[in-house]
Structure 1
Amino acid sequence: MNKTLIALAVSAAAVATGANAANVYSSEGTELNIGGRAEFRGDFVGKSNGEELDGSMSNKSRFRLNVGGTTEITDSLSGFGFYEAEQGVTSSGDGDANDDFTQRYMFAGLKGDFGAISFGRQDTAAVQISQMSDVTTFSGAQKTFINAGNEQINNTILYTGEFVDALTVKASAVLGEDKNTDGYGISAIYTLPMGVGFGLGYSANDNGYIGNVKQGSGDAFIAGINYTYESLYLAGTYTTGDYDDKANVEFDGVELAAVYGFNNGFSIMGAYQNTEFKDNGTKYTKSDFFEITGDYAFNKNINAYVSYLINNADKDDLVPTTKVYSGDFKGDEDTLRLGLKYSF
């Protein structure tokens, strides 16, 4: 696996604007691309959220479809737009009939010498930092603590600027649909010539109301570092902040990831994730696991993988489902996932 393939693997969690997208129209400075994926994901041993598996397999398969385009306005100004939706599977094993398309991204923007500015449902500024370690099957929790630092957020204005070929700066504002739910964020990644990157970001938002009671505010600091050398990629991110300063709910999260690619299409990935909330001094586990993944790329369009998640969480320490900040993990079972993904 060369640096290009490593970069593709690292950006897998980002918006799939089209490493494999097909150009279906190009005329007079206007282009239209269509892409997506069809992915079988079967979980064995236990469910991916740590709950016990009653049957033989939990089906987490999905299908994504995206459409993106650009149009040239002048020599120094262009417009762009992007849409992506995902359809889950109707699973009798889970009893979760999710066969409707769910909107993931829908935004439009302008790009020029000044950078790019876009409007719509999209990632906030801090997501570029969380993506540094979001490279394996189960990683990516660092962006999920507060709304203003998360991905796929409605009513988001995002600015992206690239400077001196090594510095990427993003700034975002979330114009909340409900009262007192506005947010903002800023982040930057600087990459040295030797392949070491440093990232830092800050996000904050108001938490709106529950009934007639006004909630407090949340904020998050996120820092990341990564390193790329030939077929090796290493990354780590750390997040800390307040989920709700009025309710005295805080959080911390660390995520470490590694990818090594061989020259025969096979790559091995590993990750460690530990995230937690502290509610008025009481600690709750959001997630705590090790992951090991083997991935084989038949070509640039189709790959197969097997992932094993070692769940370190104690069921009694997990965030209670009654909490509004309840995490994805509901149990302490391990998970074995088999996957086959076709990208187009």
Structure 2
Amino acid sequence: MKKINKALSLTLATLVSMPVLAENINTDNFSFGGRIEARAALADSDFTDKSRVRLNGQGKHEINDALTAIGKFEYELTQDSDETDTTVKNKTRYAYVGVETAYGTLTYGTQDNAVTYLTDFTDMAEYFSGYTNEEITASGDRAEDTILYSVSKGDLTFNASANLKTTENGGGLMVAYKLLPSVEVSAGYAATEGFGTNSSDTFLDETESSDVYMIGARYTKDSLLVSGLVQTGSYGGSDFDAVDAFAAYSFGENTVNVSYNYYSADDTNELDVNFVAFEYARYIGDVAAYASYKVALNNDTSAGKGPNNNNADEFMIGARYSF
């Protein structure tokens, strides 16, 4: 794989760089990778294929003793689940460049938000986790046209981000501290003006700002991980509360985990989430296989009510090869 990565890196340098630049590319610090994942979901006897392919590349180039240039891209390709549309959908997950210094890392592009470090405390399952923070651009896992500054000093980590997209501008802050080697606590705030897509819910005021306050903690010891995340804020003029919890135990090549996701808004139930999920995964080198079952806790558990069948019992099975 190292030989393949190096060959691909040299090919990329030849295709996209001028000869004088190609000579200076440090191919030892550039790598390609990705994953091929076959996944299938079953909800209310309806089968849905959720297979995907991800391709990524990342690298570093030392400019001088004080500055190191970095860059990363990642694309996801999926086939539309609609039987009448078999086209492949391409989504940009990461596409950013920046610099690393002794005073922190500064990057710009499509990338993580400041609070992603915090929301990742509980977004750890292969599938059923991380459902409560995606509606606000500044608190989502990733955002376009984003500047991110990150610095770690000892047990302290600080992130700040700004979202510059005209229709979804905002930003966030996050600070995390390790009280003990096994215990880390964190707090964050994120706010967004505008919406990426128009909501069908008439109760939402899309001219208002949306914001969220969040606190989280995680405990890791040997093969055990326990974490929690609490959020409160407003979304389009509707106040909401959210709770995420996650616990996992690994033994040998096996991992079992349980996750809980809850989101409830005052004026609308369009985005409400309330479920517990159980998962078993087996990891053998670059191969992973897993099965997950989500138990909906809402009164109406029919499939299709809400994004991604959030309010329906659902069974997921998948296998992944990483390279």
Match of 2:272 in 1: 286
Q: CA deviation at 1:284?
A: 5.9
Are residue 335 (structure 1) and residue 314 (structure 2) matched? yes
Match of 1:170 among 153, 159, 166: 159
Residues 262, 98 of structure 1: alpha-carbon distance in 2 compared, 3 angstrom cutoff: farther
Aligned residue for 2:118, secondary structure, equals: helix
Question: Are the equivalent residues in 2 in contact too, given 1:287–1:329 (CA < 8 A)?
Answer: no
Match of 1:41 in 2: 39
Higher relative contact order (CA 8 A, sep 6+): 1
Please report the TM-score for the alignment, with normalisation by the length of structure 1.
Answer: 0.79
Q: Which string of whole-angstrom CA distances, capped at 9 and with x for unpartnered residues, describes residues 197-216 of structure 1?
A: 10100011212697xx9701
Match of 2:249 in 1: 260
Structure 1 gaps of 5+ residues are 1-20, 47-51, 321-326
Question: Are the equivalent residues in 2 in contact too, given 1:286–1:328 (CA < 8 A)?
Answer: no
Q: CA deviation at 1:330?
A: 4.5
Match of 2:221 in 1: 229
Q: Read off the aligned partner of 1:273 and give its amino acid letter.
A: N
CA distance in 1, matches of 2:241, 2:152: 29
Q: How does 1:25-174 map to 2 (within 5 A)?
A: 25=9, 29=26, 31-44=29-42, 46=43, 52-54=44-46, 57-91=47-81, 97=86, 99-136=88-125, 137-163=127-153, 165-174=154-163
Are residue 276 (structure 1) and residue 264 (structure 2) matched? yes
Q: Which string of whole-angstrom CA distances, capped at 9 and with x for unpartnered residues, describes residues 294-325 of structure 1?
A: 111112x11111111111122389998xxxxx
CA distance in 1, matches of 2:162, 2:255: 37
Q: Which string of whole-angstrom CA distances, capped at 9 and with x for unpartnered residues, describes residues 137-194 of structure 1?
A: 210123213111112211100000001x21111000011233xx42010001111234
Match of 1:311 in 2: 296
Aligned residue for 1:250, secondary structure, equals: strand
Q: How does 1:297-308 map to 2 (within 5 A)?
A: 297-299=283-285, 301-308=286-293
CA distance in 1, matches of 2:206, 2:319: 46
Q: CA deviation at 1:283?
A: 5.6
- What percent of counterpart residues are identical? 29
Structure 2 gaps of 5+ residues are 11-23, 199-204
CA distance in 2, matches of 1:215, 1:230: 48
Aligned residue for 2:132, secondary structure, equals: helix
Query: What is the count of residue pairs matched by the alignment?
Result: 297
CA distance in 2, matches of 1:131, 1:59: 25
Q: Read off the aligned partner of 2:300 and give its amino acid letter.
A: K
Aligned residue for 2:138, secondary structure, equals: helix
Match of 1:6 in 2: none
Please report the TM-score for the alignment, with normalisation by the length of structure 2.
Answer: 0.84
Residues 214, 149 of structure 1: alpha-carbon distance in 2 compared, 3 angstrom cutoff: closer
